[in-house]
A and B are shown apart, each in its own frame.
Chain A
Amino acid sequence: MSKRDILQRLQGTRGQAARPQILPWLAGLVIAVLLPLAVKNFFLFQLTLAMSYAIAILGLALLTGFNGQFSLGHSAFFALGAYTAAIMMDHWGISYIWTLPVAGIVSFVFGFLFGLPALRLQGIYLALATFSLAVATPQLLKSKPLEPLTGGVQGIVIIKPDAPFGLPLSSDQWLYYLTLAVVVVMFYCATNLINSRTGRALIAIRDNPIAARAMGVDISLYKALTFGVSALYTGVAGALGAIVIQFVAPDSFTFAFAIALFVGLVVGGVDSIAGALFGGLFVLFVPNIAEEVSKGLAGAVYGVILILVIYVMPSGAAGLVRLVVSKVARIRATK
């Protein structure tokens, strides 16, 4: 490899990091906008849900993939967002639109506060602490003192919002577009965050905390803030999920869901923003596919699919794409 090649490659990757390639994103967006014209409402509902999972997984990616903090407890923040939305809509009669920012802020505060003690924990210990959070969540939601607010085991039923301004859309279609808009905003913000000075600080903390500290990065503050931002993403996702499903109940937010989000993160690619979308789709659709293959052995089929996916793409979908792109580039370069 000549010096120029190296230089080009460096510039190429740097250019990529600074300006995410706009074309595939635009193409994806156009398809996503046109999709409701072509598919059934139930499939649209599933896609909407998958997008809300994708936002949650993006939150997890910011924390785990870019900041190196491990979490198996994001179902708790998802539940927090979902319950915030449900309580605001059902108890206080507030419009669903306003629940999204409030859910985000509430989750941010909780995430930040949880992030403070979590600073002292690393790797597997942090995994256990967050996992405890996930396990405790359904119990807390069911507990007596909180029952007037959360509805206990019964949960809360909420009413599906119709399209506003007399738009000629079914409520499924409207929620799809709303979620899509939120996805676009959230993903745009995440990309900007990662490419900013703050984002570089986060990545530096992940790669080498000691060097990052030597460079003047306030590790504690950034780590706790990342926990907060990650929880914010997941909380907004939870609020969207609650509005789409029209129902929240403690047993939807068990640790199994936290693990599902984690699987989505790894399958999509931990340090990839676009990978979160793939992860969301995976979390929603693969268990259904497994169930269709075999009812009795659904879990086993799911496990086998998961192992095969990891075999084919050990660094997630994003890792595979990167590999293919670099292979193609190399073939082109040798021609």
Chain B
Amino acid sequence: MQLVLSQILAGLSTGGIYACMALAIVMIYQAIDHLNFAQGEMAMFSTFIAWQLLHWGLPYWPTFFLTIAISFVGGVLIERIIFKPLKNAPILSHIVVFIALFAILNSGAGFIWDFNIKSFPTPFGTTPLFGSLISSHDAGMISVTIIVLILLYAFFRYTRVGLAMRATAANPESARLVGIRVGWMIALGWGMAAAIGAIAGMMIAPVVFLEPNMMVSILLYGFAGAVVGGLTSPLGAVIGGFAVGVIENLSGFIPDVGNELKLTIALALIVAVLTIRPQGLFGRVIVTRV
């Protein structure tokens, strides 16, 4: 029982990473109505920028906020330069461009900062908490995720811009008719997603270490978390992220195949959840009018 409990807590702390990522994914999904396959690489690139700034001697917190600002601008630029000209291309072509972006960022980061593993500092220290079940960094990371979640919720719920962004994602034509500048709302969505990705990256990097491929598996789990929780619900995404972390850890208990097939079991469970609740655990059912 003790073992199961500690595995659940360990699952929650890795789940925090996935929750961070899932949140960033849902954010951009709400803003642009697509899943962004390059999200993880954008986060990774931002984290490298932060590493570079720290390397040049900037203190942690200024670096933290400066990186968020740089990432925001970078996200807006990516939308303006790459995606705006492709506004009318089919969705599948967009996804291919995401894949292209993935390749560019991954290989670019490897070229600039090489593929060696780098350590990344944490502002929360690594003292063990609750009888060494989770570390203070894990606790800090989870708190940051929750703070970001609350801020985002408030932004989308209570501000005019937030409302405009939701309108843009839900129905671009009607949004334009009521005077929303749809193009800029999408760019803003990209900027925000990049900024959240940067936060996620800087929180995750102390745990998994910094290298160009650090985000590949995290992105996958993040997707899984986001989809299980429901792509229309930021809270669902966070809960989904934690759930994926716990499921992954607990499936190690299944005899014989458990450890080797951790990932497979977690994914199979997710698919099972989706076949029963196709809109995700917390997602809204979207009814189509004929």
Contact = CB atoms under 8 A, between A and B. Distances in A.
B268 interface: yes
B267 A136 contact: yes
A33 interface: no
B268 A145 contact: no
Q: Counting chain A CB atoms within 10 Å of each CB, which of B85, B89, B268 scores highest?
A: B89
B256 A297 contact: no
Q: What DSSP secondary structure best describes chain B's contact surface? A: helix
A53 to B, nearest CB: 16
A307 B97 contact: yes
B127 interface: no
Given A139-B264, A299-B104, A315 B278 contact: no
A297 B108 contact: yes
A299 B262 CA distance: 29
Contact of B271 (A117, A210, A297, A304): A117
Interface of A: 64, 117, 120-122, 124-125, 127-129, 131-132, 135-136, 139-140, 142-145, 210, 259, 262-263, 265-267, 270, 296-300, 302-304, 306-307, 310-311, 314-316
A28 B85 CA distance: 34
Given A117-B275, A128-B224, A299-B108, 16 more contacts: A121-B274, A132-B224, A140-B261, A259-B99, A296-B107, A297-B111, A300-B103, A300-B104, A303-B99, A303-B107, A304-B100, A306-B99, A307-B101, A310-B97, A311-B86, A314-B89
B227 A124 contact: yes
22 contacts: A117-B271, A117-B275, A120-B274, A128-B223, A128-B227, A132-B270, A139-B263, A139-B264, A142-B260, A263-B99, A266-B96, A296-B111, A298-B107, A299-B103, A300-B103, A302-B100, A302-B103, A306-B99, A307-B100, A310-B86, A310-B93, A316-B93
Given A266-B95, A300-B111, A310 B260 contact: no
A267 B108 CA distance: 23
Interface string B238-281: 00000000000000000011001101100110110011001010
A127 B231 CA distance: 13
A117 B275 CA distance: 6
A125 B96 contact: no
A127 B99 CA distance: 14
